[in-house]
Amino acid sequence: MPAMAPQPRLRPATAADAGAMSAIYNHYVRTSTCTFQEQEEGLAERERWLAAHTGGHVALVAEEEDGTIAGWGSLSPFHARSAFRFTVEDSVYLRPDRCGRGLGGVILGELVRCARAGGFRQVVASICAEQEASVALHRRHGFVPAAHFRAVGFKFARWLDVVYLQLDLQAGP
Ligand SMILES: CC(C)(COP(=O)(O)OP(=O)(O)OC[C@H]1O[C@@H](n2cnc3c(N)ncnc32)[C@H](O)[C@@H]1OP(=O)(O)O)[C@@H](O)C(=O)NCCC(=O)NCCS
């Protein structure tokens, strides 16, 4: 049997990770409905995004032994208005050749741990309804359906639904 590859190490993202994070994200901008962004982002945009991810709004990368960034995850403000400050939205993006091995779950588990530690109340995932892997990943971590918006997105010449799933960090077992 081939040896199992060691799990990548999770660590806070730094400005030096902007290029690797953008390369992963832009792949999905070009090819997938998992993001509704249609134009690739530039490096400066990701650098600004990283600079804004401070305190409880974490950005994490999964780094392999040779320095390859296998994926990243983040907690971002759910909404700019201040009364939403106890709610965050999570994101997880893996290199396409690292999908399907459970790494997304490792990153999401750490994001949920960070959200608890950061004193947040709710974690929301906004997911294109056809992204079954992402929905399954969040369900496995206890997220429950909260909303289903029909035909709110239009990408690759198709109308797309969005589902919101949410994890109430104060809910009992
Ligand atoms: C979504 C993503 C983060 C999941 O991470 P992953 O490590 O590949 O996920 P896992 O291998 O742990 O699989 C997650 C679940 O999805 C299921 N799954 C995987 N691929 C699937 C597919 N094509 N269709 C349906 N379900 C699928 C798995 O069976 C698993 O479910 P289970 O635990 O109930 O068995 C990762 O695939 C990814 O980065 N995808 C592209 C970007 C993206 O969609 N990000 C989410 C934005 S909200």
CATH number of domain containing 111: 3.40.630.30
Question: What's the predicted TM-score (pTM) here?
Answer: 0.94
Q: Residue 56 domain-assigned? A: yes
Q: Which domain holds residue 38?
A: 9-168
CA of 148 to the centre of ligand 1 (A): 19
State which ligand 1 atom lies nearest to the alpha carbon of 102: 12
Q: How confident is the model at residue 47 (pLDDT cuts 50, 70, 90)?
A: very high
Task: Report which protein residue has its CA nearest ligand 1's atom 41.
Answer: 93
pLDDT above 90 for 2: no
Is 54 part of a structural domain of the chain? yes
In a domain, 47, yes or no: yes
Work out how many domains the chain is built from and give that number.
1
Mean pLDDT along residues 12-25: 98
Ligand 1 pocket mutation, candidates 94, 126, 135, criterion most atoms within 8 A of CB? 94
**Mean pLDDT value across residues 130-144:** 98
Q: CB of 96 closer than 6 A to ligand 1?
A: no
3 located within any domain:
no
Whether 19 shows a pLDDT value over 80: the answer reads yes
pLDDT of 6 higher than 80: no
Cα 19 to averaged position of ligand 1 atoms, centre (Å): 23
CA-94 nearest atom, ligand 1: 39
Res 3 pLDDT > 90: no
Angle at 32 between CA 72 and CA 34, to 5 degrees: 55
Confidence of residue 172 (pLDDT cuts 50, 70, 90): low
Residue 137: CB within 6 Å of ligand 1?
A: yes
Which residue, by CA, sits nearest to atom 26 of ligand 1?
Answer: 133
Q: What does the alpha-carbon distance between residue 40 and residue 141 come to, in Å, rounded to a whole number?
A: 30
Distance CA 43, CA 80 (A): 23
Q: Judge if the beta carbon of residue 145 lies within 6 A of ligand 1.
A: no
pLDDT at residue 1, as a whole number = 42
Mean pLDDT for the chain? 96
- Does 51 fall in a domain? yes
Q: How many CB atoms sit inside 10 A of residue 74's CB?
A: 23
Residue carrying structure tokens 């999908």: 99
- Asked, for residue 89, whether it belongs to a domain, the answer is yes
